[in-house]
Amino acid sequence: MKYLYALLAAASLAGVAPAPSAPTASAEQRRLYVASPGIRNYVEWGGKGVLVYDVDHGHAFIKRIPSPFDDPGGKVENIKGVCASAATRRLYVTSLTRLACIDLVTERPLWVQALEGGCDRMSITPDGKVLYVPSLEGPHWNVVDGITGAVIRKLATGQGAHNTLCLPSGRRVFMADLRSSTLLVGDPATHEVVERVGPFSAPIRPYTVNGAGTLAFVNVNGLLGFEVGDVTAGKMLARVEVPGYKQGPLKRHGCPSHGVGLTPDEKELWVVDGFNQRLHVFDATVMPPAYVASIALLVDQPGWITFSVDGRYAYPSTGEVIDTRTRKIVAHLVDEQGRPVQSEKLLEIDFAGGVPVRAGDQFGVGRVTAPATRRP
């Protein structure tokens, strides 16, 4: 395994990725922000901090932003989530117990806030004003002011608050309790749960939604594949299994598919397969989505998937960078010493003139705002 890691690092440093794209008219710089330790507290896959990569130049390592969290006694806490707002120029990361806010221009922490019940994978409204931070598999979400860090209210939901996703429009926030088979939908204007989707066949793990917020694609316990929910009708539509692959022992998460994402144009759905160390690609223009292809990963069992803002690249948690058009691995994330990096908490942030102009998402959320017509 160490020999494989050395080969991957050498390949990355040698420039395996495609040639840099031409500069845009506004001279934007596209950056990938990778929070570490982003898989449990394993510092061997990126150390501590937020690692920054140049998307347009082979995903070359640029710098490391120091971790905003102090770890008394040398104990390192997992990074549980990451999100950002270009509007307010802020980056947020959660540990098991705290939420931290970092200025994206100065790269200095603005505040660190301990939250009741701990923290998990959070999300932020597009205007950067409100964060929804799940307690650590607890009974509530903390609704937090994105500027001050003050808790606006505590939204009680169930017993296992976990993953959170705000629509790009800001119209809805989706909340999944990992001990529940029902997906909750909140209204950021009132901070109340206004819709429920399901039940699905088992408790919900990772999930994603289309940009219009009308369809949800969820991983559930025991399924190599995903299920589809109709948000408007509040019910499950379909169950889709990955064909031709068997389930087997997993290193983490205990869920055969722990990661699912839509390409931004919503034409494809990519699904993680831990045991078989693969990503499976489905045609999302039909309902239910149809299997298209599988991509073998080289390093480890994947536990997450997200995409670049333009959909050109797919980022599994194992550190490979995949060209979504060719479905080929074109780079590997490495740190400043050439060591392989893995993380389930990463997103793209674009800059112009030294300030952020656009922020992606840790989830592979669709970015088509009008409902598409899908063939039956």
217-229 confidence digits (pLDDT tens): 999 999 999 999 9
Report the share of the chain in percent with pLDDT over 70: 91
Query: What CATH architecture does domain 30-242+333-359 belong to?
Result: 7 Propeller (2.130)
Decide if pLDDT at 10 tops 60: no
CA angle 224-226-227, nearest 5°?
140
Instruction: Check residue 15 and give its pLDDT.
Output: 38
- The full DSSP string for 4-24 is HHHHHHHHHHTT-SPPPPPPP
Give Cα separations from 345 to 79, 151, 246 (angstroms): 8, 23, 27
Which residue has 């088979």 as its token pair? 181
Report pLDDT digits (tens) over 38-96.
Answer: 999 999 999 999 999 999 999 999 999 999 998 878 889 999 999 999 999 999 999 99
Instruction: Check residue 159 and give its pLDDT.
Output: 86
Distance of CA 151 to the CA centre of its chain: 24
DSSP assignment letter at 286: B
**Average model confidence (pLDDT) across the chain:** 92
Q: What three-state secondary structure class fits 36?
A: strand
Q: Please, are residues 158 and 199 in contact by the beta-carbon 8 Å criterion?
A: no
> Quick one: tokens of 240?
């889709």
Q: What three-state secondary structure class fits 279?
A: strand
> Quick one: tokens of 214?
């009308």
Beta bridge partners of 100: 93, 112
Instruction: Check residue 13 and give its pLDDT.
Output: 39
Decide if pLDDT at 255 tops 80: yes
Q: Please, are residues 289 and 269 in contact by the beta-carbon 8 Å criterion?
A: yes
pLDDT band for position 3 (cuts 50, 70, 90)? very low
User: 292: closest CA among 220, 243, 247?
Assistant: 243
Instruction: State the pTM of this model.
Output: 0.92
Decide if pLDDT at 2 tops 90: no
Report pLDDT digits (tens) over 269-284.
Answer: 999 999 999 999 999 9
Decide if pLDDT at 23 tops 90: no
CA angle 33-39-41, nearest 5°?
110
pLDDT band for position 371 (cuts 50, 70, 90)? low
Give the residue-averaged pLDDT of 290-317: 97
Instruction: Check residue 26 and give its pLDDT.
Output: 56
- The full DSSP string for 140-165 is EEEEEETTT--EEEEEE--S-EEEEE
